[in-house]
Chain A
């Protein structure tokens, strides 16, 4: 089963995802990191065994975060040979073209604007679930 890493600093947004998973009866293991640095630690382990299993991983990434933002995290990820193949789906409020272009240049699997209402977000997460359920993930 695909392991999902949610990189998100806003607690309400984390709750949002958790609630949407619950509403959709999604049971995939969900790991939470509050910023890019924490996320890298969880992926690499930094000497300790990584907190996440090293296979079948997918990342849901917010862009606006303290310390290391989403784009910076993506660059770090893509330059690391071990982490490079992990599919990343951007989940953000930023509708800026600049962000979209940079994200796609770093090979994101999708760029999804956070829907305004919770019900819409639930639908979005349901679609995402279908995606990673169907995809062969390394």
Chain B
């Protein structure tokens, strides 16, 4: 180890070492400050920092290194190759640029941090060994490779630490808390950079080219070192100062902008508020009123400055507002709410809701802040709502139907007066109850009621009708018709159910009675049908009887008549006049008997046969009847001109007229008698009248004349069976009409009969 034995190592000037460490620390501090600035500034300022920063920092690191080199005393004269020195400075600047570029980024991954640190560490190492290469002396540097490697590791480690701390600082901008930490970090990084340098220096020793060189020729480089140091410090200080000033400027600008924005926002809020904001002094003098007073109350805000706030108030509420002011004065810094009326510029009175807050002690306000809002429309709406509710309640209470409102869980919410009347329970007895909680629903109808309710609840139906029984309070069972409708909210949920109830008990009873009556009627109808059948049978029997009468009774009569005549013929020679008269009487009675039988037959047939209907002109019919009767030419028969033409059965009407007219003529005592026929309308009937001027009929016989076989004169005097009027009466009545007689003895007689149109 001869080489080693002759190798020389330098000594360090301690003062310069301290200076170099100080510079390293300051350079680190500068770097950290710059990192902060890079994130906060933008645009051209940032570009300037990106260029100037690395230069300042690079020179700082380099000067630390160079001062460190200068503090290294060798026993040989040392010169420096200036271009290489400048190159080493350039390397330092590039390394710094890489570092600052990295920390100025938005995000920094671990890999990027590590890569950056390696580059920066290598850069610093490169700067150092380039600087070493600039040394010109009569010796060859010998490097201890282990220490060289260590120095590079220290460089990378220091870079890593520095970048990481700087990156942290970047986001942390609070000035006071970070200053100390920043300083500490700067000291740490500075020491680490210096450590790298001195580790590297420890790695080198020099082998002198000539043995005879002694240490007597040691050059003192202290002056140069101090000069470089001062220059570096000045540069760094200026950089830091520039940075600080720039930061202060930026902060001020931001604050001013924020203030401006906040004020603009506040002004806009106040101007466009729907509330009026007003500040008054303790005596009520207005010191501020918001511009919103213009749209709300119609006044210009400047007109009210310095005036009393009470002048805005409606006279009726003045004392109330004064009291409010007193309240506010008594309770500083608390909200006092109130309602009062203010006068609008147009003279109308509006209702306001106000909040007053006594901020007299607050130097920023120094007044009572009153905020008030126009609630006139709200009040009107409220009162309209209240009125609507009152009206609804009135109608509900006065409805003839019982009204019950159910909550969505079917508890009673409303129970009208009529509900009280129908069911007996008072509202307070049932309100809030579920109908199953008291004896209200008739058990047999429980399923029906539950189903009806379920359909309303699940929204299948919005209204329905149910007929079921209910109990009343006194236990009676009544039939009720329920008209239910569900009230749903906007999302379709059941809010309540309204039921209108009609008591249909009486109706039901009436229906039942009607049903019973219908059954009765059906029974009666069946009896009637049976009776009708029996009647028809009886009529058939009567037909048979009439047949028998007509043949079997008339035949013997005829035989008697014939025989009497033959006897008279056969023994005519020996008959006395008396006997001959008796024979005539005998035949007369036989003929009368036959006439009676014919009348009986005719009578029995009336109404049993329907004859064809046709359009009948009564005037024509009467003309034919009169013609067939052939009254004596001295007799007058007058027919009124207004005889109707209508649809009816011809034969029965003809029979009636024939009988009445022929009776009038037959029974008339004079040959120049007169018969008048007239008609009047009586609703659905015509009333015909046949009047004669004959001897008339005593009222006591009026009924009797219509009875069959009744005659008022001896049959011998006027040959008459007494059946004509009985037949007339039967015909008229079988057609639904009536017949009556008006007559007095000696004053003629008038028969009136009605005939359906």
What residues make up the interface of A, taking CB atoms closer than 8 Å to B?
10, 12-13, 15-16, 19, 64, 93-96, 114, 116-118, 121
15 CB contacts below 8 A, A to B, read: A15-B562, A15-B566, A16-B562, A19-B566, A64-B551, A94-B547, A94-B550, A95-B550, A96-B547, A116-B561, A116-B594, A117-B561, A118-B561, A118-B562, A121-B562
Contacts of B591 in A (CB 8 A): 116
Residues of B within 8 A of A116 (CB): 558, 561, 591, 594
- Give A13 Cβ to nearest chain B Cβ, in Å: 7
* Complex interface: chain A residues within 8 A of B522 (CB): none
Once the chains bind, are B566 and A10 in contact (CB under 8 Å)?
A: no
A12 and B550 form a contact (CB under 8 A): no
Q: Which of B543-561 contact A (CB under 8 A)?
A: 547, 550-552, 554-555, 558-559, 561
* Of A13, A15, A93, the contact of B550 (CB 8 Å cutoff): A93
- Closest chain-B Cβ to A41's Cβ sits at a distance in Å of 25
By CB atoms of chain A within 10 A, which of B554, B558, B559, B561 has the most?
Answer: B558
**Docked-complex contact A13 and B559, CB < 8 angstroms:** yes
Given A93-B555, A116-B558, A121-B562, output 16 extra A-B contacts at Cβ < 8 Å: A10-B555, A13-B555, A13-B559, A15-B566, A19-B566, A64-B551, A64-B555, A94-B550, A95-B550, A96-B547, A114-B558, A116-B591, A116-B594, A118-B561, A118-B562, A118-B565
> With an 8 A cutoff between CB atoms, is B250 at the interface?
no
Cβ contacts under 8 Å, A16 to chain B: 562
If A19-B566, A116-B594, A118-B565 touch, does A93 touch B554 (CB 8 Å cutoff)? yes
**Which chain A residue shows the least CB distance to B543?**
A96
Closest to B564 in A: A118
Which residue of B is nearest A98, CB measured? B547
**Given contacts A118-B565, A118-B566, A93 and B551 within 8 Å (CB-CB):** yes
For A118, the chain B residues whose CB sits under 8 A away are 561-562, 565-566
In the assembled complex, B629 has its CB within 8 A of some CB on chain A = no
What is the bound-complex CA distance between A13 and B551, given in angstroms? 13
A118 to B591 Cα, complex, angstroms: 13
Residue of B nearest to A19 (CB): B566
CB neighbours of B388 from chain A (8 A): none
A107 CB to closest chain B CB (Å) equals 23
Chain B contacts for A114, CB-based, 8 A: 558
Q: Note all chain B residues with C-beta closer than 8 A to A64.
A: 551-552, 555
Q: State A16–B561 Cα separation when bound (angstroms).
A: 11
- Complex Cα distance, B558 from A116, in Å, reads 6
Chain B neighbourhood of A10, CB < 8 A: 555, 559
Q: Which A residues are CB-close (under 8 A) to B563?
A: 12
The A interface, classified by DSSP as helix, strand, loop or mixed, is loop
User: Least Cβ distance of A8 to chain B in Å?
Assistant: 11
A-side contacts of B550, CB under 8 Å: 93-95
Which B residues are CB-close (under 8 A) to A117?
A: 561
Determine how close the nearest CB of chain A comes to the CB of B719; give it in whole angstroms.
Answer: 15
How far apart are A26's CB and chain B's nearest CB, in angstroms?
A: 17
Which residues of chain B have C-beta atoms less than 8 A from A13's C-beta?
Answer: 555, 559
Q: In whole angstroms, what is the CA distance A114 to B559 when docked?
A: 11
A111 to chain B, nearest CB (A): 15
Residues of B within 8 A of A93 (CB): 550-551, 554-555, 558
Complex: chain B residue closest to A117, CB-CB? B561
Chain B window 551-590, contacts with chain A (Cβ cutoff 8 Å), 1 for yes, 0 for no: 1101100110111011000000000000000000000000
Residue on A with the closest CB to B591? A116
CB distance from A83 to the nearest CB of B (A): 26
B562 x A12 contact (CB < 8 A): yes
Least Cβ distance of A21 to chain B in Å? 14
> Distance in Å from the Cβ of A87 to the closest Cβ of chain B?
24
Residue in chain A with minimal CB distance to B594: A116
A95 to B552, CA, bound (A): 12
Q: How far is the CB of A6 from chain B (nearest CB, A)?
A: 16
Alpha-carbon separation in the docked complex, A117 to B554 (Å): 12
Min CB–CB distance A93 → chain B (angstroms): 5
Considering the complex, give the chain B residue whose CB is closest to the CB of A64: B551
Expressed in whole angstroms, the minimum distance between the Cβ of A131 and any Cβ of chain B is 23
A16 CA / B563 CA spacing, docked (Å): 9
Residues of A within 8 A of B561 (CB): 116-118
- Could you tell me the distance between the alpha carbons of A64 and B555 in the complex, rounded to whole angstroms? 10
Give B490 Cβ to nearest chain A Cβ, in Å: 89
Q: Which residue of B lies closest to A114 (CB)?
A: B558
- Chain B's closest residue to A94 (CB) is B551
Closest 10 CB pairs of A and B: A12-B559, A118-B562, A93-B551, A118-B565, A94-B551, A93-B555, A64-B551, A16-B562, A93-B554, A116-B558
Chain A: minimal CB distance from B541 (Å): 16
Q: How far is the CA of A10 from the CA of B562 in the complex (A)?
A: 13
In the complex, what residues of A have CB within 8 A of residue B559's CB? 10, 12-13
- A135 CB, min distance to chain B CBs, angstroms: 28
| Alpha-carbon distance A93/B552, docked complex (angstroms) | 9
Taking the nearest CB of chain B, how far is it from the CB of A5, in angstroms?
Answer: 21
Distance (Å) between the CB of B38 and the closest chain A CB? 143
Chain A residues, Cβ within 8 Å of B552: 64
A93→B561 CA distance, assembly (Å): 15
> With A and B bound together, what is the CA distance between A10 and B550 in angstroms?
16
| Chain A residues within an 8 Å CB radius of B562 | 12, 15-16, 118, 121
Give Cα A66 to B191, complex, Å: 173
Expressed in whole angstroms, the Cα–Cα distance for A96 and B546 within the complex equals: 10
Bound CA span A81–B591, Å:
44
On chain A, the residues within 8 Å of B555 by CB distance are 10, 13, 64, 93
**Within the assembled complex, what's the spacing in Å between the Cα atoms of A10 and B559?**
9
Q: Given the complex of chains A and B, what is the CA–CA distance between A64 and B548 in angstroms?
A: 10
Residues of B within 8 A of A95 (CB): 550
Nearest to A115 among chain B residues (CB) is B558
**Contact partners of B551 in chain A: CB under 8 A:** 64, 93-94
Complex CA distance for A103 and B552, rounded to whole angstroms? 20
In chain B, what residue has the closest Cβ to A119?
B565
Report the separation of the CA atoms of residues A10 and B555 in the bound assembly, to the nearest whole angstrom: 9
Complex Cα–Cα for A131 and B550 (A): 29
Output the residue of A64, A116, A121 with the most chain B CB within 10 A.
A116
Q: For the complex, what is the distance from the CA of A19 to the CA of B558, rounded to whole Å?
A: 15
Residues of A within 8 Å of B566, CB to CB, are 15, 19, 118
Q: In the complex, how many angstroms separate the beta carbon of B598 from the nearest chain A beta carbon?
A: 10
Q: Which residues of B contact A19 (CB under 8 A)?
A: 566
A15 neighbours in B (Cβ, 8 Å): 562, 566
CA distance A118 to B551 in the complex (A): 17
CB distance from A34 to the nearest CB of B (A): 15
Contacts of B594 in A (CB 8 A): 116
Q: Find chain A residues with CB under 8 A from B547 CB.
A: 94, 96
Q: Mark B148-184, 1 if CB is under 8 A from A, else 0.
A: 0000000000000000000000000000000000000
Q: Across the two chains, which residue of chain B brings its CB closest to A93?
A: B551
In the complex, chain B residues 499-548 whose Cβ is within 8 Å of any chain A Cβ: 547
Residue of B nearest to A63 (CB): B551
With a cutoff of 8 Å between Cβ atoms, the chain B residues found around residue A96 in the complex are: 547
Q: Give the nearest-CB partner of A13 in chain B.
A: B559
Q: Nearest A residue to B557 by beta-carbon distance?
A: A116
Distance, CA A112 to CA B555, complexed state (A): 15
The chain B residue with its CB closest to the CB of A121 is: B562
Q: Closest A-chain residue to B559, C-beta based? A: A12
B722 CB to nearest A CB, Å:
20
Smallest CB gap from A116: residue in B = B558
- Per-residue interface assignment for chain B, residues 426 to 458, with 1 indicating a CB less than 8 Å from any chain A CB and 0 otherwise: 000000000000000000000000000000000
A46 CB to closest chain B CB, in angstroms?
30
- Nearest chain A CB to B392's CB is how many angstroms away? 83
Smallest CB gap from B546: residue in A: A96
B575 CB to closest chain A CB (Å) equals: 17
Q: How far is the CA of A13 from the CA of B566 in the complex (A)?
A: 12
In angstroms, Cα B558 to Cα A94, docked, is 13
B615 to chain A, nearest CB (A): 26
- CB-CB under 8 A from A121, the residues of chain B are 562
Q: Distance in Å from the Cβ of B713 to the closest Cβ of chain A?
A: 24
